[in-house]
Structure 1
Amino acid sequence: MKEFIILTGLVLLSTHGIGQVSEFLDNPDAEEVLDSSQTRDADIYLFSKSTDDGLSLRWAPSSPNVWLEGNTYGYSVDKMQLDSNNVEKFIPLGQGLYKAWPLDEWKSIVSEDSPYTAAAAMTIYGAEESTGGDSFTKGDQDLNNRFGFALLSADLDKNAATASGLSATDQKVEIGEYVIYRIYIKDELGNARSDTSFYLCQREEVVQETAPIISEIEELENVVNLSWDKYSGSTTFTGFYIERSDDNGSTYLRITERPVLDISTNLMEGDIISYADSLETNYQSYYYRLVAVDAFGDESLPSEAVIAMGRDKTGPEAPENFIVEEQNNGFQLSWEFDNALNDITGFNIYKSVETEDNYDLISQNLSPESRAFIDNDPDPIKTNYYYVTAIDTAGNESSSKINFGITTDNIPPQAPGNLRYSIDTMGQLLILWDAPRDNDIRGYRVYVSNAQDDEFASESGDYLKQTYFATNIELETLTEKIYYFVQAIDWSYNVSENSMTLEVVKPDILPPSQSIFVDYEVTEEGISFNWIPSISEDVKEIQLLKRELGQEWVSVNNFDQNTLTFLDKSVEEGVFYEYTLNTIDDAGNSTLSEKTLNLEALKSFFLKEIPTLEAKSEDEGIVLTIGYPEKENFTFTIYRGENEGLLSTLKILESGEEFVDKDIRKKVKYQYAVKANAMDGRDSKLSNIISIKK
């Protein structure tokens, strides 16, 4: 018989009794030794738990065959105490041999209050099933069932564990001491095939086990579902009792006669256990808590209580005969509903332009008497889908069937216009067109032919959303031209007339396709642009060019093909500029944008302030001199006040920058200020006020 040494515990052997253990591991009787770095399943597993009396020990055979050997021969449990005296000797623990009680002795512990003792006795002494079918297969199944129930009964009942020969208590261990336990099947004749196992255990201070935790509650119709993690706490629990209180937690009644067990056998099933409590009535609050049972048959402290109740989850009858009819520019929705059979608070109307998803609530809590609703704002382009729900007093909704309405549209859109194109030497063709003014365009289709008078074929496939079409054409052909036209299709599938036919010439050498402005914005900060870059693959750079009217183009900046936006800050207010994009390929060929932008830099709200205003007293009066550097034609509004009084308009000077105020009285102190006025209605802010006395 091989002996496997399996050392387990809470501390490392290197810090406690390493000398004794090293000599022990050299035991010549051990044919194979496993250290803590190796993994090997044991034939007998042993668990320990520190108690006030010492160390409680529980062991379990790893298979039905080992269990049968244990029932036949019993389990020998020896101990070696690791202490300062360095005494290394195994001695029997207690009675030494632990074996299942004879059947007659079980009668003293079997009772209605202890069902697991009877179950344990039945697994050991009950008759095996072996009749009918494949007796060999049924025998294995029966043995597995008996083995499983035997271990479960020992887990849930201390008496069952003791009577099954699967538990013991070591009362001669001090707190902090380490003990090595040796456990094996006691077979004097050597017929047992199981291996000896060794376990290192330590007695610790007794710590109250952590209570389990109810992690989730679900309130359903006459049912409360409780869920919890089977590992919630410091111990792996075997079973759980459910307790319930109907007096706000003052007293609890255990509503599960037997513990709720974790019966999962597949690791993929997860660690969550659930229990459903069936209730007679809804809306009666109950307090729930868990009491867990560990492998030693000890119960934990109760979990924290949760409050739950059954709730009404049954919706009312659904509205019937739901109809959608076109009315004027909208849709009238109507339905049937029997109020006498349902207690409802009203109806909700939902709408979407998709069959199954993205429904919006468009009318809420229509009165229970309502049987119709008018949607005056349907989508004029897409199909409108609707359904109506009845809502009961608990907020449950029941939905009618989905129905739909389509606005009538038999008018085709206008044809796309202004077809144009650009093409590069690689045969990459970009066709652009102007969208029709219709606001219900679904998309476009492009048709192509090698000859203007031949049949055209669809080139674009599905609908195009954009007003351009990019393709690659073969240049090395006998035909020098290719022809295209475009159709527009609206959301009612009406098709426009064909656009003008676009003749595309296949050049031998072409510059790159153009880059196209798609957006711009004029602000006080400057003028910003967005563009679509050329689709040519050999583009080297894109130049943004500008010029004032009548001037030559100047470069604002150069960009690579990935740059799509730029803000030009180098503009003067009120000046008109023309902008274009110049696309240059790596061969030096260039293409200016077909469309330029003529834009005026934004003028500021106020004219520039008047920097200087001077006043001199002359014989003829007070001479005002206005210093204003701007070169445009401006008028000036002159304001005058007397003796620090309010200013009022004195004169609008139509030309020049000098004015003589002749209406002057002696010993009066005058104040003057001036505004500049432009022809476009803008003014400058009031200048500084100056004072002078004649």
Structure 2
Amino acid sequence: MIKKKSTPIIFMLLMLGITIKTYAQKEIGNIKAEVKAIATVSENKILLRWGVTTPTAWKYANKYGYIIERKTIAVDKEILTKPVIKQLIPIPLKPYPMMEWKEFSEENNYAALAAQALYGEEFDVEMNEGGDGLLSIINKAQVIEQRFTFALYAADQDFKVAKFSGLAFVDNTVKPTERYLYTIRVALPEEKKDLIKAGGVYLGLLDKKTLPEPQEFVGVFKDKTVILSWNQVILKKYYTNYIIEKSEDEGKTFKKLRGTPVATLGEKEKNPSNRMMYIDSLSQNNKTYSYRIKGISPFGIEGPYSKIVSGKGIKPLTHTPFITDVKLNSQGGVLSWEFPSEGIRTLSKFKLVRSNTPKGKFLTVIDNISKNKRSIKIENLQAINYYKIVAVGNNGGTRESFPKMVQPDDSTPPAVPTMLNGTIDSLGVVRLQWKQNTEIDFLGYRVFKANLKTDEFTQMTFEPIPNSTFIDTVNIKILNKKIYYKVQAFDKRYNPSEFSEVLELNRPDIVPPTAPVFTSFKSDKGRVEIEWISSTSNDAQSTVIYRKEKGVKEPWQMLKSLPLLQNKFIDETGIVGKTYLYTALTIDESGLESEPIVPLKITVLDNSPKPSIEKFTGYVNREERYIELKWNYKETKVKEFVLYKAEEEKKPTMYKVFKVDTNKFKDRNLLINTKYTFLIQAIFESGAKSPLNKIEINY
């Protein structure tokens, strides 16, 4: 029987207990019970791994086991209309019985941890006097959460442990051209089947991918120690732990470090680190050691090695030099420093380094300065210099002095600012920019502004600004439409440059122009002619004509943008017989648009002459009391015929409308002894009309 107090388990509990306990108690209660699955391809088989999300689901799964179902979804990249379903295991998959863990747990700490979580004795929590059943329930819940977390952690670290725990399966019956959907669910009884949601994963042998190489592997070598670190976040979905190997013969042979593989035991909730770290001890300094790492996936597959990191342990110097004085002369100067006498025996030499800024990159100016010297000549000084004295130890370790600024006399101003340009937006925000000065002793710029080019310029910057950009605001609701700027550069001795060229900017126009006014229109022969009075705004630039078909849901179509002086437009693109809406607006020099004017409704007409109707005749039949009218018309594109009628001494009125295929009509609406006038006219699809053809008949 596996005891909860066995040595490997006690070790793991001490190492992992605090981290895992905190995670379990805080997160598990908010997670939905379901199966989460992953899979990978290895040679000619597919490896499956899964787990459940809550302690209760884990307890049910251990009792009832898992069912693994495989659906063949595609063959040779063709989706099957009816997937082939196969149960991969005859009975639900459960953790191995307790006795089968014994030998495995004696040689594998993760197996011992998983076995303890599954079959170990209860963790009894004693209660204070006066305690009640509620505390007992809480304690038992905490124990289940800890067992659940330990079991899943151990399975993640070793694929064989996962198989023993009933959380892994290898499918050897796969085919190279097929893709499968695997579904893993807990074999719950019918009344509990909805308690735990099933999980799944889709892949085939063609989805095989190589594992990535560990990235950003670095080593920081110190006194008989090295701190190794690598980016574990970008590899989190590939690896659960890492093997670290060490070489003491400059990379010829490597040996795995004791205590590895190493794993991430948990992450901080706030400001989590992207890197994983490992500290190794070195047997001696000044000897080259090399390291490399490789990851192990949740399926027990080892990935490729990282790049090799090499270095030597270095005992740091314990004393630091200090620059005491700099005396300048016409040739340059002399720099002096101090160094404690008790540190001389560990010192190899000094070197002088220089930079343009106190935090910039320092380059060696003079090397191999005797450890007994305390001053050195400096030459070729630039406008601003920062110097450090570096003490170099016998073992290569270094200690640096604080930087010392050395600045010779300077009366040369910086270059004049150039390429000044800027913009003003509709809110009056001014954005200026110009070419950045590159002098080493450059300090900054002052910006000046005026409303008139002849006015005295006002300084806008309280102190010199280091960047070649400036943001200002101006009032855009004034009559003066222009604003003026210029810039001056200063060095760290406050030597001023000449002013830049003056920049003239236009204040934005925020008042739209007035709209045009339609005065007349004409539609004839398929053309529409429109006239208007143009906008009277001073900055008006053009008139734009728009059109859309009446009654049709479509956007307005721009027909033409015309110069302001032009006030007539002819549209020849309309379709005869259709009715259009026309509108217009004005655009000014700033691109502002007026409101569009009230649209005109115009029908495109074709009033070109048409021939009259031929052979319009009438026949009187007094016996049957009717007048029969007949006509003949051979023109095309006729829409209809209109018949007008009038009694003697009366005006004709529209009497009948006939379809185009009608050519006769019997009128029985008659009075005896009455003279009638009939007129007929053809109406064309374009709206054009033929002349009226007239006959008179006595009835």
TM-score range, shorter chain: 0.3 to 0.5
| TM-score between both structures, scaled by the size of structure 1 | 0.46
| TM-score between both structures, scaled by the size of structure 2 | 0.45
